[in-house]
Structure formats: C-alpha cells, structure tokens
Structure 1
C-alpha cells in the first residue's frame, strides 16, 4: 500500500512540475513576443507621409500613405514583428520615441548632430533643402548667404529649420510647417525652408496657393527610419535587411516613381 501511494504522489508531482514548466514557457514566450511590437511615428509631410483624411493626425497604418510610409510598410511586411503606426506633430513624436524601447520615427534626416541619438535604418528617400518665396516675390538668391537679410519661415524640430537657426539666420518658428505658405502670402516671412516636393503640395492642398517660387536648393539629405537607442540591435538589423530586400525587388523605386511630377 505504501509503495502504491508513493508512486501515485510521485506521478502527481511530476505532472505538476511539467505543467508549471509548460506554463512558464508560455508566459516567457508571450513576454518575448510582446517586447517585439514596434511603435512607429511619423508626421503629415506630403508626399512622403500623409494622412488619407488630409488631417495631421492618423491612428493606424491604413490611414497613412506617401513615399516614405510605403517604404516603411514594404520593409515591415518582410518581418514578423507586430507594429503600430501613428501620425503626430513632428516635435512631439521626435521627443516621444527617444528613451523608449522599440520606438521609431520616420522620415528622419540623418545628420551629424542626430547620429548618436538614434539607430538608423535606410536610406529611404532624399529631401532637398529648398528656400521658397511667395508666387509674386522678386527675391533671387545665388547662395545661402544671400538669405541672411530675410525672415525665413520654419517649424520646431525640423532639421532644415534647426540648421538655419544654428547658423544665425532669422527663422520664424511654428509648431507645424503647414501654416508657412500662408505666412509668405501675408508677408509674415520672406522665405520658407522646406523640401522641394513638399512645398508646392502643402501650399496648394492646405491653402490653395499655386506658383510658389523655389529660389534656392542648398543641400540634400537622405531620410531614414530612426529607432531609439533602447531598441535591440537585432531588430534594427532585421529591419535593415528587410528594407534592402524591398529595394532589390524594385519596390522603393516604384514608390518614388508614383509621386514624382
């Protein structure tokens, strides 16, 4: 009787231990999968990133389109990570993703000043740093130095605006770049610094202003998906590999071709 009871108890303990082992493995696995969810932010910056609704906020990837957005989606389609994509004001998103694991931001210009703030996946698409004048303006520029005597409309957190501020130019900042074409029209600024494709689109779509004058292109910068330094390098590597595969398949060139005039 004693032998039978001992065997019975032993079987129960073995089964219980196995059950705990399986349960522990499930819990650990769920935790690992949860840690691989990515949180990706962007801004309303057509034609690179734009909301289907035309508004500056979007809460899912289905509501966000554009050149860079399409590139990032093509990359994410090649990895197993779950992701959340949202559109917010640039300065808010730029500050939010830093210091948070598995958080990223696009399209972000990769500069010397920003190099150590993020881990980089790219390049995606390049931007042309362009100074625009109002349609009826008679301003002409031969070099960036010629722009020092003018008021330049920019916005907070924008790499082009920040660069001009660092060089001592008179930059009138706003929270969003969407208001800047109107500033030109109202005479609140003489020039507007933005990307060569973005300027005319925003002016036309947001304010019905056509004929914006590009008076100087003074730099070109590649844009990237910028991931927080707290994100695992293995994830960064996997995303870079996926982007390279999308590029080799011709998907990135196809996206750029869809938006070029």
Structure 2
C-alpha cells in the first residue's frame, strides 16, 4: 500500500469519526417531547411507559446517546406541536403522518398503524355515510390532532367542532350529551372509552382515514440525525423488537 493511499484511509477514518462525534453531540442536545397518548406514551406512577417510549429507549441506547427517558418532557399536545414546529433539533412522539404534515417535519418510523373513526353512543340512531352527514352534528375533537384537520379539509365547518385538549375530555362531553359524536384514534381510544363507558356503550359510525404513527422531527434537524434514528429503528424492526413491543400493549 503506497503512502498516499495510507494517508487517504487515515483521513477518511478521521473524517468519519469526527462526523459521528458531531452527530452524537447534536443527538445528545436533542429536545424530546411527548404527550399523554396511551398506549403509545403515558405515565404510570410517575414512570414513562408505552409502545413509542420503549422503542425510543432502545434507539437511544443503540445510537449510544447519553439521553434517556428522564430527558423526555411531557407537554400538552398543542404546545408540543408548536414547539417542535419552531425549534430546531427537537422531536415529538408520536404524530400521525398525513399529507398536510408531510413536508412540515422529518419522520422516523412507522411505529404503528392508526385508524381515525367517528364514534357515537350506541342506540343514538345516528347513521353516517359521508362527511356531508357529519355537518348535522357537534363533533368532539382534540385540537391539532390529525382527525380535526381531516374533518376541516373535508368540508366540516368550525362551528361543528368542539375542541378539547384530550380524547378523555371529549368522552366526558359525549357522556354529558354536550356533543353527539367523537373523532378518535382506534388504536388508543379503548383505554379511555372503557374508563367512562361500558365497552358496548359506543359504536363506530364512520371511518375517516387510515394512517401510521411516527416520531416527528423539526424540519431543520439534519438528515444525518434523522437517518441515525431511522437506521436504529430499522434494526429493531428487523430483529422483531418493534412487533414484540406493539403486541405487548395492543394484544
């Protein structure tokens, strides 16, 4: 091996090490946000738990970051969305990846599938065939959730929507007959539903969309950082860890 080739290899090794070290430093400064969204993220006796929480824990360890779950900040959803939309090097989990959001964030995942549906009290007699039928009713939605955006983009007026900070709050409104319908995510709605209603007290009357949940990064986050998380996520998926975690909570 000639002298020039040796120097080139040494330079490339040094450059790679420097780049990785720089990326790790940026990752270690990452601001990570989440909200109450069972079974993906929630607190139990002060401990952060959930599908996306366990996956994140695996990824941080795989990337060799000094960050851990104690560095995750709990926000109200609307505040978290505002923060990650404005602040570089920040990440929010989990978020529904939609057409409207596609070029607003950078994405890692998918964590799990998601069905957005409309629920009514069983026996209400409400029949929904299209978005047009929804215009007759007051619908409970969570502010800045993808379901509220979907309703507005399909011609539902603001006057039809009653905004809350959580899906649980929407259920209380439905229970008190303040609204007739609730827009909800089928993957996590059961945990709230069963806490307020008997399991058979609600019925699905309309399916809006089918999406996937992701980790959403501020758009100005470097591709190298996002790719590092996606590479780690893909490794976990290949090993079956993502499926095992989902099965643990959703079975």
TM-score tier (shorter): 0.7 to 0.9
Aligned residue number for residue 33 of structure 2: 41
| 2:110 aligned counterpart, secondary structure | coil
Q: Which moved more, 1:215-224 or 1:196-205?
A: 196-205
Tell me how far 1:255 sits from its aligned partner. 1.4
Per-residue CA deviation, residues 187-235 of structure 1 (Å, 9 max, x unaligned), is 1111100111322211223x35543222222211111111112222111
Q: Does 1:119 align with 2:106?
A: yes
Q: In the superposition, relative to structure 1, how do residues 33 and 254 fare at CA in structure 2: closer, same or farther (>3 Å)? A: closer
Question: Of 155, 159, 162, which residue of structure 1 is paired with 2:142?
Answer: 155
> TM-score under structure 1 normalisation?
0.78
| 1:77 aligned counterpart, secondary structure | helix
How far apart are the structure 1 equivalents of 2:187 and 2:106?
Answer: 26
Per-residue CA deviation, residues 66-100 of structure 1 (Å, 9 max, x unaligned), is 12222222222210223321221110001112232
Aligned residue number for residue 248 of structure 1: 238
Per-residue CA deviation, residues 8-55 of structure 1 (Å, 9 max, x unaligned), is xxxxxxxxxxxxxxxxxxxxxx998653322211111111211113xx
Answer yes or no: is the 8 Å Cα contact 2:131–2:155 preserved in 1. Answer: no
Task: Give unpaired runs (5+ residues) of structure 2.
Answer: 1-20
Aligned residue number for residue 96 of structure 1: 83
Aligned residue number for residue 4 of structure 2: none
Question: Of 153, 172, 182, which residue of structure 1 is paired with 2:162?
Answer: 172
Aligned residue number for residue 27 of structure 1: none
Aligned residue number for residue 187 of structure 1: 177
> TM-score under structure 2 normalisation?
0.81
Higher Rg: 1
| 1:68 aligned counterpart, secondary structure | helix
Aligned residue number for residue 12 of structure 2: none
Q: Does 1:75 align with 2:66?
A: no
How far apart are the structure 2 equivalents of 1:182 and 1:89?
Answer: 18
Q: Does 1:66 align with 2:50?
A: yes
How far apart are the structure 2 equivalents of 1:80 and 1:176?
Answer: 34
Task: Give unpaired runs (5+ residues) of structure 1.
Answer: 1-29
| 1:198 aligned counterpart, secondary structure | helix
Aligned residue number for residue 238 of structure 1: 228
Per-residue CA deviation, residues 104-155 of structure 1 (Å, 9 max, x unaligned), is 0111111121122111111111110011112442323233333221111001
| 2:86 aligned counterpart, secondary structure | coil
Answer yes or no: is the 8 Å Cα contact 1:99–1:230 preserved in 2. Answer: no
Answer yes or no: is the 8 Å Cα contact 1:196–1:214 preserved in 2. Answer: no
Tell me how far 1:102 sits from its aligned partner. 2.1
Q: In the superposition, relative to structure 1, how do residues 33 and 260 fare at CA in structure 2: closer, same or farther (>3 Å)? A: closer
Aligned residue number for residue 4 of structure 1: none
Q: Which moved more, 1:188-197 or 1:96-105?
A: 96-105
How far apart are the structure 1 equivalents of 2:190 and 2:130?
Answer: 21
Q: In the superposition, relative to structure 1, how do residues 31 and 119 fare at CA in structure 2: closer, same or farther (>3 Å)? A: closer
